[in-house]
Amino acid sequence: MNSINFVIVGDSSIADELGKKGTASTDIEIYDRKTSDYIYTWTLPVKFPDKIQSLMQAVNIAEYAVLNVTKLDKYLGEEIIALDYVNFDYGFIIHSYEIDETKLKMLIKNTSISGFKFLDNIDQLKQEINKLRPKHIEGPVIIEIDNAFDVKGVGTVVLGMIKQGKVKVHDQLKIMPFKKDIQVKSIQMHDDAVLESQSPSRVGLAIKGMQASNINRGDLICPPNTIEVSSEKLHANFTKSPFFKGEIAENQTYLISIGLQIKPAKVRLIGEMLEIIPEKPIVFLHRQTCVLLKPDSQGTRIIGKAIIQ
């Protein structure tokens, strides 16, 4: 079974016309729909605009995006920046009749979403969605966890996206950053048991070796020696957002968004290099993009992006 995953930013009310509400937490919701060939998911940042963290986590779950514009305001600006910083290169834009499309195209100019396809209505969106195919990524399996809980008679269950590779029942893997050995006991896709699943599927895994209460959103499941873990200094090439007007202070705590992880950190800007000192361990890949956030900023809360060296 193949999977195709979207994030909906802007007016998320269209989700009800695309799928059925499934997994929900306090800050993100996931709608889904299953056909004979595909499982579709749509992730919504339900706590945005109150929490910038909700937006950043939602955009990191999907490989396709839908931007539904009903207002030209600073929150739209943050949504465009978030999509751009995660490097979305394909998606769709729809907007209400009162939105000036020329102004909207100017806002997305010079961003990764400038090539998104403009559509007139939800029916066109459904037609375009049916043309899409999954984006498989080869390599050692990496599963990014967004939820974990205990099920009576089953044990620990984690939900997450396969970012790359393939997972099989009985695989012996590690959960990071804990470096804890786990075994995959069973795999489910949309409530159906399967023996294996590949990227970019959303899966539920019953695992042996770690309790759900010790697992956090953003933790990764992978083979040994696949990803890096750091609780000390990281260095990253930094690009400040032109829309953030403040200065970066060394004595202030910021948030680092990397994948589904949102971690507090102190930072120091040295030329174009950002020195990151995380308060908790961060898991990352070489040259992975992270985003620097300032949730209490009165303007844009996205300071800039950095490429980890």
pLDDT in tens, 39-70: 999 999 999 999 999 999 999 999 999 999 99
Inter-residue contact 167 to 197 (CB < 8 Å) = yes
Tens of pLDDT, residues 159-205: 999 999 999 999 999 999 999 999 999 999 988 999 999 999 999 99
In the chain, what are the domain boundaries? 2-129, 142-225, 229-308
pLDDT at 231: 80
Architecture of domain 229-308: Beta Barrel (2.40)
In this predicted structure, what is the pLDDT of residue 253?
A: 96
**Rounded average pLDDT over 288-307:** 96
Indicate the SS3 state at residue 159. strand
The mean per-residue pLDDT over the stretch 132-152 comes to 95
pLDDT score for 23: 81
Whether 57 contacts 44, CB under 8 Å = no
Mean pLDDT of all residues in the chain? 95
Mean pLDDT along residues 118-135: 95
Quickly state the pLDDT bin for 286 (edges 50, 70, 90): confident
pTM of the model: 0.94
Task: State the average pLDDT over residues 143-164.
Answer: 95
Q: List % helix, strand, coil for the chain (3-state, nearest 5).
A: 15, 45, 40
pLDDT band, residue 88 (cuts 50/70/90): very high
Q: How far is CA 224 from the centre of its chain?
A: 23
The pLDDT value recorded for residue 155 is 94
CATH superfamily of 142-225: Translation factors (2.40.30.10)
Q: Which CATH superfamily is domain 2-129 in?
A: P-loop containing nucleotide triphosphate hydrolases (3.40.50.300)
pLDDT of residue 1: 78
Confidence grade of residue 251 (pLDDT, cut at 50, 70, 90): confident
**Same fold across 142-225 and 229-308:** yes
pLDDT at 169: 98
CA distances 43 to 30, 61, 117, Å, are: 4, 7, 19
